[in-house]
């Protein structure tokens, strides 16, 4: 099942995509996709629904982030060998973990706003997953059963904020709109193998990234098991899993986002995103 949130920013409603690609309104079933309802039990209830009995949403509404919010927004760095090399970093022996502010979440086609003082905005296409149950010391063999669903993500970054100065990654990853996810939250019955998903990202019509999740250093099940050793994972937590090579930081010469640029992301079974880059005004 492909779950969405549709409508104007701040007033989104929950929905699902039917077999004909239309949005069906789920607001009579669930108020919103908030962490308290993003459980395996709710997922199973939703996937059992007959979508043909639910109201069709007319027009072409905006799609917001397919989850209303997340408790933890966890990111994995340097999880593809070639990306670690282009970043001039050693191949990690264990997952590199950092956070993004939950307030960075945005819709798949919303504008990406470069913050005041930004000089080195960058792109990173990534597979994301949303947890569906509490996990602490979960075994790899049980880890995928705890996933509510999978999403396409763009881990937008500001490299000067991230690397220069005190070099705290969260500072370069957390601006509003730096966490586009969606268009859909796809339940695992449609993603039998999260380690076999093709992905690509273009900037202004030119291919920048091409990859497949099979080349991740630490696959999803291993990430869940590892993270659950370091912290409690809870329903609604969002984890993005790293990016293949081709980011602006790794290009020679380096290339960074500027107002007017457009990004186009695609991932097998998880849909596509289109974002225009704009400057902060305020």
- Rounded to an integer, the average pLDDT of 177-205 is 98
Examine the pLDDT at 85 and tell me if it is beyond 90: no
Structure tokens at 268: 């097998």
Examine the pLDDT at 165 and tell me if it is beyond 90: no
Quote the percentage of the chain above a pLDDT of 90.
94
CATH of the domain at 75: 3.90.850.10
Residue ranges making up the domain that contains 133: 65-279
Residue 234 lies in a domain: yes
Residue 148 lies in a domain: yes
Q: How far is CA 30 from the centre of its chain?
A: 22
Residue 167 lies in a domain: yes
What total number of domains does the chain contain? 1
For residue 71, the model assigns a pLDDT of: 95
Question: What is the rounded (10 degree) CA torsion for 10, 151, 70, 63?
Answer: 0
Residue 2 lies in a domain: no
Confidence of residue 225 (pLDDT cuts 50, 70, 90): very high
For residue 102, the model assigns a pLDDT of: 98
Residue 227 lies in a domain: yes
Residue 85 lies in a domain: yes
pLDDT, tens digit (0-9, with 9 covering 90-100), for 41-72: 999 999 999 999 999 999 999 999 999 999 99
User: Mean pLDDT, the chain, as a whole number?
Assistant: 96
> Which has more confidence, 82 or 203?
203
For residue 82, the model assigns a pLDDT of: 83
Structure tokens at 218: 């630490």
- The dihedral built from the CA positions of residue 172, 173, 176 and 177, taken in this order, carries a sign that is positive
For residue 88, the model assigns a pLDDT of: 84
pLDDT, tens digit (0-9, with 9 covering 90-100), for 205-217: 999 999 999 999 9
Residue 26 lies in a domain: no
Residue 37 lies in a domain: no
Question: d(Cα 184, Cα 5) in Å, to the nearest integer?
Answer: 8
């Amino acid at each position: 099942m492909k779950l969405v949130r549709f409508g104007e920013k701040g007033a989104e409603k929950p929905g699902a995509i039917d077999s004909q690609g239309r949005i069906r309104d789920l607001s009579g079933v669930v108020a919103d996709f908030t962490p308290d309802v993003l459980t395996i039990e709710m997922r199973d209830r939703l996937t059992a629904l007959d979508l043909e009995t639910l109201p069709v949403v007319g027009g072409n509404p905006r799609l917001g982030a397919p989850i209303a919010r997340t408790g933890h927004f966890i990111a994995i760095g340097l999880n593809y060998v070639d990306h670690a090399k282009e970043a001039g970093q050693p191949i990690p022996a264990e997952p590199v973990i950092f956070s993004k502010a939950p307030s960075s979440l945005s819709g798949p086609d919303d504008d990406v706003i470069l913050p005041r003082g930004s000089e080195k905005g960058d792109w990173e296409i990534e597979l994301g997953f949303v947890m569906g149950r509490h996990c602490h010391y979960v075994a790899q063999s049980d880890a995928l059963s705890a996933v509510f669903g999978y999403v396409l993500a763009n881990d937008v970054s500001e490299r000067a904020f991230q690397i220069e100065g005190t070099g705290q990654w969260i500072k370069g990853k957390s601006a509003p709109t730096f966490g586009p996810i969606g268009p859909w939250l796809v339940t695992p019955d449609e993603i039998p193998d999260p380690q076999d998903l093709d992905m690509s990202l273009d900037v202004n019509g030119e291919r920048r990234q091409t990859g497949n999740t099979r080349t991740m250093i630490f696959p999803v099940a291993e990430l869940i098991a590892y993270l659950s050793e370091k912290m409690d994972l809870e329903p609604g937590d969002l984890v993005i899993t790293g990016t293949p090579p081709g980011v602006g930081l790794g290009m020679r010469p380096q290339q960074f986002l500027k107002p007017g640029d457009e990004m186009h992301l695609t991932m097998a079974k998880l849909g596509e995103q289109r974002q225009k880059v704009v400057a902060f005004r305020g």
